[in-house]
Amino acid sequence: MILSAVLVSILAAGAQADRSVGADELLYLDNGDSLRAVIAPRHGGELTGLAYRFDGAWHELLYRAGDYTETTGWRGKAPLLWPAVGISLDPEGEGRGYRIAGRHHSMPPHGFARDQAWRVLRYDPSAEPAVALLTLASDEATRVPYPFDFELTAEYRLDADRLTIDYQLTADPANGDAMPFCIGNHITFNAPLIPGGAAAEVRFHTELPEQLLREDDRTFAGRVAPSPFRGEHPLSALPRRNAVSLGGRSGTAELTVIDPSGLRVMLRHTASAEPAEPAVRFNLWADTVEGFFSPEPWLGTQNGLNTGAGLIRLEPGERWNWRIEIVPSASNETVSTDNEEST
C-alpha cells in the first residue's frame, strides 16, 4: 500500500480530502497555518506525516512519510516502540524474547504496538486544538508475547506551534503482577529537513550528560560514561547506523535538530513516573548517505525486559502517562517552553 503520493498531494493542497473516519483511512490534523500532521490508525496508530510551512513552502519532515510498501531499508516515520525498545534476547538462549516466571515469551524488535491496528476513539480536526485519540487494548493475540491485560491510548493534538502526543497506559486491575515495559518513539526525520542542504551539515543539540554503553549493538552493558555528544554536534559525528544512547538526567529530556536552512525541530518528552536508572532518554541513529536522522525518545534500554535496566513496572490498576512534544520553528522564532497540561 503506497500512501506517500497521496500524502504529499494532501499536505500540499491543504488536506481537503474526505475526513470521515474509517478503518482504512488516514487522519489529518491541520493548524490552519504552518503545521500539518497525518496519523495512520491501521499502521500502529503512528504519526505517518508531519509537514511544516517554511519560507513560503510546505516541506515534509518525516523520512518515508506515508510509505507502507515492503522495502529492505528502514521504514521511517514515527512508530511507537512498546513494550520493548530494541532487541530482546532470552538469557537462556531461546532466541528473541524474554522470560517471566521462568517461561519464554517471544518479543519482536521494538515490541508489537507498532504492528497493530489501533481503534479511533475521537477524531475532531476542526477543534482547537485539532485532536485524534486512538487506542490499543490487549486481546488473545497480544497475550501470547505479553501476558498482561492493558489499554494504551495515544492522543495527538495539533496546536499553533507544535504537535503533542500523549500516551496513557493503564494496567488491568486483574493482572496478577506488575506489568514491565520500556517505551520509545522511533521518529525519523529527513536529513536534511529542507531539500538543498547536505545531510552531514544537519546538527543536533542536547544537554544530556551521559552515554549508556553497550556490549554490542543489542544489549546495554550496565556502564555509563560522560557523553561526548553533549552540546551541539553535526550528524557526521555519529557512527553510521550504530546507535548512540544518551541519558543521565531524570525528568524532562530535550533535543533539537538544526537544519542548514535555519529550520529547527525541538523534541521534548516527560513521563508521570520515571524508569529504573540508568535509562536511555534519546537513542540517536543516523545515516547521512540514506538521508535520515532518528533522535528516538526512549524510556528504557535495549533488552530491558531481560536485564531490568530502564524498566518501568506498572502495578495492577495503575496508569502511566508519557508526553512527546514536536516543535518546528524558523531560526528567528521563539519557541515556548510551557507545557499546557501536566502528564
Report domain extents, the chain.
73-329
For residue 222, give the nearest of 280, 176, 183, 269 by alpha carbon: 280
Residue 74 has pLDDT above 70, yes or no: yes
- Residue where the block lists cell 500540499: 12
Peptide bond connecting 328 to the previous residue in cis, omega within 30 degrees of 0: no
Determine the average pLDDT of the residues in 312-316: 98
At 5, phi and psi to the nearest 5?
-65, -45
Residue 336 is predicted with a pLDDT of 52
- 169 pLDDT band, cuts 50/70/90, is very high
195-249: pLDDT as tens digits = 999 999 999 999 999 999 987 656 777 789 999 999 999 999 999 999 999 998 8
Residue 333 is predicted with a pLDDT of 55
Non-local CB neighbours of 102 within 8 Å, separated by 6+ positions = none
- Full-prediction pTM beyond 0.85? yes
Contact 156/324 with Cβ under 8 angstroms?
A: no
Which cell goes with 256? 533539537
Q: Which H or E run includes 13? A: helix 4-13
Distance of alpha carbon 304 from alpha carbon 311, whole angstroms: 6
Residue 216 is predicted with a pLDDT of 67
Inter-CA distances, 162 with 112, 187, 285, 295, Å? 27, 15, 23, 17
Residue 69 is predicted with a pLDDT of 75
Which cell goes with 324? 512527546
Would you call 101 helix, strand, or coil by DSSP? coil
Inter-CA distances, 4 with 59, 176, 188, Å? 13, 44, 15
For residue 183, give the nearest of 259, 264, 280, 104 by alpha carbon: 280
pLDDT > 70 in the chain, percent? 87
Architecture of domain 73-329: Distorted Sandwich (2.70)
